[in-house]
């Protein structure tokens, strides 16, 4: 029993131990050079997480699409088709890189890079385990939301730079949709911040040691889930890239690896948003002790990602006026109501506990 | 209640997800055809009495057969039996007309050919081919 407990403890702190060992190689473990090395290692780990997540999620998405329609999904390459994404990525790399003649070339080329860089920046503040946030920011949520809202700008750049009417139409839709849904998303997170009294994601996870916030804030979780779907431009809110209406929206003119970068960015953003949901509402790395903290975190993230994909392959696309109606007339009042109720709850709690 | 339909839809897709797949892995696993599928013809040369009833019954005159008289037994012997399958309906009327069950409908379905001439089947050669395979 003792040895098993020791083993679990070691597994739980595996990455911290590795980090301490690397720091121990330096004469002064907290010198500038040690910090720089650790920062570079953290950066590489986050990039690996983004790329791996995209590779796995693209396949998972196709598998789930298959299962919901009683097919098996990709099943040719590798065991049960699990290597399909690698073949797809290789195919994308081999494709011709076309820039339209009348495109705004600089903006056209820089837009996919911005989209791809955003999930790396947002995933850097998420705590993957106890003390395992690559960057421990005090304004973690604030930073996360600020960075993820830049993707609106990248969509607009892609749409404008392509010099194509469908691209621009899709980009306009992206701006309208993402700016609208940012507000309920923020307000739904505000309830959690009010309870935990902190913007720091690590502190928020620690505050959920006894009870995850999904039980205290069920309404906020539902609002968060809907607004996150809309933020990520995924079905049923995929008006930005609605194939039947605007070809592929801002991605219409992109080919090869640039288009692949958009895809990587989309799935990276999805991972980041699901990670935020798991951190804020499901208790992040907190969980029964028989699994290490980071395993719990990725399990919870996976559950939210599965929910998002499940919704995508169930619901038809929402109409654009209904989309705006939902954001401004349903989600926004509900999220404000949630803030009011949370405030009342905190007041009553303090009154009863005599704080 | 508002939003009940959404949950119902999610339930239905989840049921589909955990339920069985209906995919058929065709080249690896041959499908189980319904018993009444008619997709190919086969000839048993020994049974054929060269009566030409099948050719007469055929609505598209697909079947062309020739025969010659054996001088010793005074019976007709089949010389050639050709089907232009490109025009064949697989209606099975030839099998109904056949008095000795020499021509039958089979469920062989991999009949694809690269050239149009491949659709002109020499039934005697095909029968020998299947015998060899069997």
For residues A199 and A138, the answer to whether their CB atoms sit within 8 Å is yes
For residues A213 and A192, the answer to whether their CB atoms sit within 8 Å is yes
Q: Does the structure's ipTM exceed the value 0.85?
A: no
Question: Is pTM beyond 0.90 here?
Answer: no
Chain B: closest CA distance from residue A118 (Å): 31
The pLDDT score that the predictor gives to residue B68 is: 86
Query: Treating both helix axes as pointing N-terminal to C-terminal, what angle do A84-94 and A32-68 enclose, rounded to 10 degrees?
Result: 110
B24: three-class secondary structure by DSSP: coil
Nearest to A281 by CA among A208, A175, A199: A208
Q: Is the pLDDT of residue B121 over 80?
A: yes
Q: Is the pLDDT of residue B134 over 60?
A: no
Distance of CA B132 to the CA centre of its chain: 19
Flag if B17 and A68 touch (Cβ within 8 Å): yes
For an interface test with A, give the residue of B18, B23, B26, B27 to mutate (most A CBs within 10 A).
B23
The pLDDT score that the predictor gives to residue A340 is: 92
For an interface test with B, give the residue of A63, A70, A316, A333 to mutate (most B CBs within 10 A).
A70
Chain B: closest CA distance from residue A40 (Å): 42
The CATH class of the B33-133 domain is alpha beta
Nearest by CB: A72 against B9, B12, B21: B21
A14: three-class secondary structure by DSSP: helix
pLDDT tens profile B59-106: 988 888 888 888 888 888 888 888 888 888 888 898 999 898 888 888
Nearest by CB: A70 against B9, B14, B16: B16
Flag if A310 and B14 touch (Cβ within 8 Å): yes
pLDDT tens profile B2-46: 778 888 888 888 888 888 888 888 888 888 888 888 888 888 888
- Number of Cβ atoms within 10 Å of the Cβ of A57: 24
Peptide bond into A236 cis (omega under 30): yes
Does any CB of chain A come closer than 8 Å to the CB of residue B14? yes
Flag if A70 and B6 touch (Cβ within 8 Å): no
For an interface test with B, give the residue of A62, A68, A236 to mutate (most B CBs within 10 A).
A68
Q: Where are the domains of chain B?
A: 33-133
Give the contacts of A80 (CB within 8 A, at least 6 positions apart). A72
Give per-10-residue mean pLDDT for chain A (355 aa).
Answer: 75 77 77 82 86 87 88 83 85 85 86 88 84 81 88 88 86 88 89 86 84 85 89 82 77 84 86 89 79 84 90 86 87 90 88 78
For residues A141 and A201, the answer to whether their CB atoms sit within 8 Å is yes
Residues of B in contact with A64 (CB under 8 A): 17
Give the contacts of B47 (CB within 8 A, at least 6 positions apart). B100, B101, B102
Distance CA(A249)–CA(A170), nearest Å, equals: 4
What is the torsional sign of CA A194, A200, A201, A206? negative
Residues of chain A in Cβ contact (below 8 Å) with chain B = 64, 66-72, 75, 310-311, 313-315
The pLDDT score that the predictor gives to residue A290 is: 75
Distance CA(A177)–CA(A168), nearest Å, equals: 14
For chains A and B, what is the number of CB pairs under 8 angstroms? Answer: 34
B75: three-class secondary structure by DSSP: strand
Q: CA of A128: how far to CAs of A48, A119, A252, A270, in Å?
A: 14, 15, 36, 16
Nearest to A221 by CA among A342, A58, A350, A65: A342
Flag if A72 and B14 touch (Cβ within 8 Å): no
Flag if A314 and B21 touch (Cβ within 8 Å): no
Q: CA of A251: how far to CAs of A57, A156, A237, in Å?
A: 19, 11, 16
For residues A130 and A285, the answer to whether their CB atoms sit within 8 Å is yes
Q: Give me the helices (H) in B36-134, please.
A: 53-57, 93-97, 123-133
Flag if A72 and B20 touch (Cβ within 8 Å): no
Nearest by CB: A68 against B6, B16, B23: B16
A99's tokens: 């820039």
For residues A202 and A140, the answer to whether their CB atoms sit within 8 Å is yes
Nearest by CB: B6 against A70, A71, A315: A315
Nearest by CB: B10 against A66, A69, A314: A314
Distance CA(B105)–CA(B90), nearest Å, equals: 8
For residues A120 and A50, the answer to whether their CB atoms sit within 8 Å is yes
Chain A: closest CA distance from residue B4 (Å): 13
């Amino acid at each position: 029993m003792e040895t098993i407990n020791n083993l679990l403890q070691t597994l739980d702190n595996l990455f911290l131990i590795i980090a301490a060992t690397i720091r121990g190689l330096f004469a002064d473990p907290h010198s500038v050079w040690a910090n720089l090395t650790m920062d570079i290692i953290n950066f590489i780990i986050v990039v690996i997480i983004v790329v791996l997540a995209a590779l796995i999620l693209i396949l998972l998405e196709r598998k789930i699409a298959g299962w919901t329609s009683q097919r098996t999904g990709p099943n040719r390459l590798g065991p049960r088709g699990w290597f399909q994404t690698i073949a797809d990525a290789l195919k994308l790399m081999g494709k011709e890189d076309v820039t339209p003649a009348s495109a705004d070339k600089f903006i056209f080329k820089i837009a996919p890079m911005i989209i791809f860089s955003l999930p790396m920046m947002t995933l850097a503040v998420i705590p993957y385990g106890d003390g395992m946030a690559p960057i421990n920011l005090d304004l973690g949520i604030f930073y996360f939301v600020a960075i993820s809202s830049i993707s609106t700008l990248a969509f607009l750049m892609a749409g404008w730079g392509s010099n194509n009417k469908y691209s621009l139409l899709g980009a306009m839709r992206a701006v309208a949709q993402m700016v609208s849904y940012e507000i309920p998303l923020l307000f739904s997170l505000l309830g959690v911040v009010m309870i935990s009294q902190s913007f720091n994601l690590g502190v928020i996870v620690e505050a959920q040691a006894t009870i995850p916030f999904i039980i205290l804030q069920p309404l906020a979780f539902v609002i968060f889930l809907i607004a996150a779907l809309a933020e990520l431009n995924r079905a049923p809110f995929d008006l930005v890239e609605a194939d039947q209406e605007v070809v592929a929206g801002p991605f219409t003119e992109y080919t090869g690896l640039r288009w692949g970068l958009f895809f990587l960015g989309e799935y990276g953003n999805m991972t980041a948003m699901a990670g935020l949901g798991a951190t804020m509402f499901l208790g992040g790395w907190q969980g029964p002790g028989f699994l290490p903290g980071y395993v719990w975190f990725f399990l919870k993230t996976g559950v939210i990602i599965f929910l998002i994909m499940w919704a995508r392959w169930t619901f038809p696309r929402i109409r654009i006026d209904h989309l705006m109606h939902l954001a401004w007339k349903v989600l926004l009042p509900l999220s404000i109501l949630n803030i009011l109720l949370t405030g009342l709850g905190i007041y009553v709690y303090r009154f009863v506990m005599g704080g | 209640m508002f939003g009940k339909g959404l949950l119902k839809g999610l339930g239905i897709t989840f049921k589909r997800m955990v339920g069985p797949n209906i995919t058929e892995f065709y080249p690896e696993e041959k499908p189980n055809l319904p018993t009444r599928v008619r997709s190919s013809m086969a000839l048993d040369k020994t049974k054929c009495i060269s009566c030409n009833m099948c050719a007469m019954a055929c609505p598209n005159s697909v079947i062309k057969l020739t025969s010659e008289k054996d001088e010793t037994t005074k019976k007709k012997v089949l010389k050639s039996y050709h089907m232009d399958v490109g025009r064949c309906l697989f209606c099975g009327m030839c099998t109904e007309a056949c008095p000795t069950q020499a021509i039958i409908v089979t469920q062989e379905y991999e009949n694809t050919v690269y050239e149009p001439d491949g659709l002109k089947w020499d039934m005697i050669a095909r029968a020998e081919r299947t015998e060899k395979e069997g």
